A and B are shown apart, each in its own frame.
Chain A
């Protein structure tokens, strides 16, 4: 008994000694700098990133980037805890906006401004509207690394043809289309109202169309009573008008976007439209490939609102995923090298286009047109390129407490449980929180 204990203790000591020695050896021989990277992407998107990292590791023998993959849900809490414990990875992914801001305020994020300004080629690589979510007070804290995900209407072309409905360019045309579909027993718009964030897309677009980006920027800036801006009241009145005229499917408040529950109404021909991010294309493709192969899925930008202050070319959605460097990183310069030399360069850009994503870099019109589903990719690219303002999802831009209250109140607004005035009054209480 005693002997075996001694032996196992000895074995453990031996083992740990050899492991330690191994570490020392590899570090000593090549002077390799290890960079850890946390990401949440899956499937094809993850493959593209892995290939990018492999190429970088081969061309940079002195740096080794090691990715770790997490699930989307737990990731947010995981990174929060790692930051709080001052033990974060060198590079972490995020969506910019309010959450990134909270890390910056806590002094946890590396400022990339001077590195990017040093290199004009790097600085001019990206579409300008995509840099906003990682730019605070003129300082840049991240770079985009995935495709853009703007939000717009998807529609069932067969239904539009059958009932002779033209693509709505203005709000009134949209209302007319809704009336036509309702008269013919077709659900005009399908909405995953249970998840709440699909509701937010209507709010984001209408407020921007009516009041321009200033209306929401005032909220972001923490101005008192910013939610009482007439743009919010008017947008919310218009939303309730949609609900009252039965623009959405019956029971939308318990229908989720998950598992394609809301989208199934679109691709089974029961609903005519859905306002959704560009990922809707993949949702339809994986559930009803025939609809896309036969060219029956269409898309159009959110209609303009006559008399509104906002530019009708403005868009909303998720500009991109972003990589940021944590301040606790022991090798920030190696991490900067990775962001500069690997992310959205050369072959990586081609890889994104090959899997049907639109990377937010300049001058790729030709590649997009030649790619599979080129018309869809070009539509997305032009939308982002021509947008004076690419509004990132408000629930990402705002502080978590404000974002949660916003989603809850929007749910009530869509249920007609809350008037636009009550909505503004309640949201005003959370400004700056």
Chain B
């Protein structure tokens, strides 16, 4: 039998385009960023080699640690807010209830908007003086009409995470939706014959069968929250104070507003390493790389 995993000339050749793209658009820029992180450079002057000075600045500054903490917070918040809802909506839409498609259209609309449009719209809705939400709360007697959603340092990050969830839940629902559609009907039939109710079927069939969808979605949420930028830029610009200045925002601020390319590059490297480490860790923990069959015994 021929060894199916061995590389031969043809396979190398087929890989060239992909490898080339990876080199030009991922690996080389990354290495350049590593190089930049050792420079004192504002983009104008002659760059100066400063060794690990930028790295020391970053790890010695409270600002960077603050940004790292916020990034972890937004990761956790995003996952907690998005996963249960996406799972429920996705599974619900995969069923055969009436008007399912109509609901689907509503749920998926946020997917169609760009982050900037989402950000601008929500800042209008949340405006403390003439925003829709405060007006509704006041009209129904649930609030004072002066709730300051994005301007209160203690709540701004939670509100931002909620808007991010609003934007991305449709996408993850879509993942769960397609995952749930793949589950063979025969499993449910067998369960029904054994007398299982819908709740039991959800926990004993749907959930285990969606294991890999769940992992994919989790990896995307966690690594995605490492790169949130556009929405936060529009909603709060990192403020109030530095309450939503997560690592990508801080990176932008350091590199392009403070014109300190070296320090910005340090943060870019941290982000890239964290992203790669996170996905490898998750894949290892979940044994996703083994890809054993979900349908054993069928």
Is B148 a contact of A400 with CB atoms below 8 Å?
A: no
Interface centre among A102, A251, A270 (most CB of B within 10 A): A251
Residues on the B chain within 8 Å of A256, using CB: 123
Segment of B189-197, B198-206, B252-260 engaged in the interface with chain A = B252-260
Residues on the B chain within 8 Å of A194, using CB: 150-151, 236-237, 239-240
Is A251 a contact of B128 with CB atoms below 8 Å?
A: yes
Q: Say yes or no: is A77 at the interface (Cβ < 8 Å to chain B).
A: yes
Q: When A103-B44, A254-B128 are in contact, do A415 and B259 touch as well, CB less than 8 Å?
A: no
B interface footprint on A46-60 (CB within 8 Å = 1, 0 otherwise): 000000000000000
Is B257 a contact of A254 with CB atoms below 8 Å?
A: no
CA gap between A83 and B148 in the complex, in Å: 42
Q: When A193-B151, A404-B253, A415-B240 are in contact, do A254 and B127 touch as well, CB less than 8 Å?
A: yes
Residues on the B chain within 8 Å of A270, using CB: 129
Q: In the assembled complex, how far is the CB of residue B212 from the closest CB belonging to chain A, in whole angstroms?
A: 40
Q: Say yes or no: is B35 at the interface (Cβ < 8 Å to chain A).
A: no
Interface centre among B146, B151, B257 (most CB of A within 10 A): B151
Contacting B146 at CB < 8 Å: which of A84, A196, A251? Answer: A251
For B150, give the chain A residue with the smallest CB separation.
A254
Contacting A417 at CB < 8 Å: which of B149, B237, B241? Answer: B241
Is A84 a contact of B148 with CB atoms below 8 Å?
A: no
A interface footprint on B152-171 (CB within 8 Å = 1, 0 otherwise): 11001000000000000000
For A429, give the chain B residue with the smallest CB separation.
B61
Contacting A80 at CB < 8 Å: which of B43, B128, B146, B152? Answer: B43
Q: Say yes or no: is B126 at the interface (Cβ < 8 Å to chain A).
A: yes
Q: Say yes or no: is A421 at the interface (Cβ < 8 Å to chain B).
A: no
Residues on the A chain within 8 Å of B241, using CB: 408, 411-412, 415, 417-418
CA gap between A277 and B34 in the complex, in Å: 42
Is B253 a contact of A254 with CB atoms below 8 Å?
A: no
For A249, give the chain B residue with the smallest CB separation.
B129
Contacting B153 at CB < 8 Å: which of A80, A105, A399, A417? Answer: A417
Q: Say yes or no: is B42 at the interface (Cβ < 8 Å to chain A).
A: yes
Q: In the assembled complex, how far is the CB of residue A251 from the closest CB belonging to chain B, in whole angstroms?
A: 3
Residues on the B chain within 8 Å of A250, using CB: 128-129, 146, 148
CA gap between A417 and B130 in the complex, in Å: 26
A interface footprint on B254-298 (CB within 8 Å = 1, 0 otherwise): 001111100000000000000000000000000000000000000
Is B260 a contact of A84 with CB atoms below 8 Å?
A: no
Q: In the assembled complex, how far is the CB of residue A284 from the closest CB belonging to chain B, in whole angstroms?
A: 17
Q: Say yes or no: is A285 at the interface (Cβ < 8 Å to chain B).
A: no
Q: In the assembled complex, how far is the CB of residue B125 from the closest CB belonging to chain A, in whole angstroms?
A: 12
Is A84 a contact of B151 with CB atoms below 8 Å?
A: no
Q: Say yes or no: is A253 at the interface (Cβ < 8 Å to chain B).
A: yes
CA gap between A250 and B145 in the complex, in Å: 10
Q: Say yes or no: is B230 at the interface (Cβ < 8 Å to chain A).
A: no
Is B239 a contact of A84 with CB atoms below 8 Å?
A: no
Residues on the A chain within 8 Å of B256, using CB: 77
Q: Say yes or no: is B73 at the interface (Cβ < 8 Å to chain A).
A: no
Q: Say yes or no: is A255 at the interface (Cβ < 8 Å to chain B).
A: yes
Is A108 a contact of B44 with CB atoms below 8 Å?
A: yes
Q: Say yes or no: is B140 at the interface (Cβ < 8 Å to chain A).
A: no
CA gap between A108 and B123 in the complex, in Å: 41
Q: In the assembled complex, how far is the CB of residue B252 from the closest CB belonging to chain A, in whole angstroms?
A: 11
For A105, give the chain B residue with the smallest CB separation.
B45
A interface footprint on B120-141 (CB within 8 Å = 1, 0 otherwise): 0001001111100000000000
Q: In the assembled complex, how far is the CB of residue A224 from the closest CB belonging to chain B, in whole angstroms?
A: 20
Contacting A255 at CB < 8 Å: which of B44, B129, B153, B238? Answer: B129
Is B239 a contact of A102 with CB atoms below 8 Å?
A: no
Residues on the B chain within 8 Å of A252, using CB: 151
Interface centre among B129, B241, B257 (most CB of A within 10 A): B129
Q: Say yes or no: is A35 at the interface (Cβ < 8 Å to chain B).
A: no
Query: 8 Å CB contacts to B: which residues of A233-260?
Result: 249-256
Q: In the assembled complex, how far is the CB of residue A417 from the closest CB belonging to chain B, in whole angstroms?
A: 5
Q: In the assembled complex, how far is the CB of residue B61 from the closest CB belonging to chain A, in whole angstroms?
A: 10
Query: 8 Å CB contacts to B: which residues of A391-433?
Result: 399-401, 403-404, 408, 411-412, 415, 417-418
Q: Say yes or no: is A15 at the interface (Cβ < 8 Å to chain B).
A: no
B interface footprint on A95-106 (CB within 8 Å = 1, 0 otherwise): 000000011011
Q: In the assembled complex, how far is the CB of residue B277 from the closest CB belonging to chain A, in whole angstroms?
A: 29
Is A253 a contact of B42 with CB atoms below 8 Å?
A: no
Q: Say yes or no: is A34 at the interface (Cβ < 8 Å to chain B).
A: no
Is B239 a contact of A196 with CB atoms below 8 Å?
A: yes
Q: Say yes or no: is A14 at the interface (Cβ < 8 Å to chain B).
A: no
Is B153 a contact of A415 with CB atoms below 8 Å?
A: yes
Residues on the B chain within 8 Å of A403, using CB: 257
Q: Say yes or no: is A264 at the interface (Cβ < 8 Å to chain B).
A: yes
CA gap between A49 and B147 in the complex, in Å: 45
Query: 8 Å CB contacts to B: which residues of A32-87?
Result: 77, 80-81, 83-84
Q: In the assembled complex, how far is the CB of residue B126 from the closest CB belonging to chain A, in whole angstroms?
A: 7
CA gap between A250 and B258 in the complex, in Å: 31
Is A253 a contact of B129 with CB atoms below 8 Å?
A: no
CA gap between A106 and B44 in the complex, in Å: 7
Q: When A194-B151, A404-B258 are in contact, do A253 and B239 touch as well, CB less than 8 Å?
A: yes
Query: 8 Å CB contacts to A: which residues of B73-125?
Result: 123
For B159, give the chain A residue with the smallest CB separation.
A254
Q: In the assembled complex, how far is the CB of residue B142 from the closest CB belonging to chain A, in whole angstroms?
A: 17
Q: Say yes or no: is A261 at the interface (Cβ < 8 Å to chain B).
A: yes
Q: Say yes or no: is A134 at the interface (Cβ < 8 Å to chain B).
A: no
Q: Say yes or no: is A265 at the interface (Cβ < 8 Å to chain B).
A: yes
Interface centre among A80, A253, A404, A411 (most CB of B within 10 A): A253
Is A254 a contact of B151 with CB atoms below 8 Å?
A: yes
Residues on the A chain within 8 Å of B240, using CB: 193-194, 253-254, 411-412, 415
CA gap between A411 and B156 in the complex, in Å: 14
CA gap between A256 and B239 in the complex, in Å: 12
CA gap between A77 and B259 in the complex, in Å: 10
Residues on the A chain within 8 Å of B238, using CB: 408
Q: In the assembled complex, how far is the CB of residue A255 from the closest CB belonging to chain B, in whole angstroms?
A: 7
Residues on the A chain within 8 Å of B153, using CB: 415, 417
Is A400 a contact of B126 with CB atoms below 8 Å?
A: no
Residues on the B chain within 8 Å of A255, using CB: 127-129, 151
10 A-B contact pairs sorted by A residue (CB < 8 Å) = A77-B256, A80-B44, A80-B259, A106-B45, A194-B236, A253-B240, A254-B149, A255-B128, A264-B130, A400-B258
Q: Report which B residues bind A (CB closer than 8 A).
A: 42-45, 123, 126-130, 146-153, 156, 236-242, 245, 253, 256-260
Nearest first, the 10 A-B pairs at minimum CB distance are A251-B128, A254-B151, A253-B151, A251-B148, A401-B258, A254-B150, A412-B241, A250-B146, A253-B240, A400-B259
Question: Other CB < 8 Å A-B pairs besides A106-B45, A196-B237, A251-B127, 4 of them?
Answer: A80-B259, A193-B240, A401-B259, A412-B240
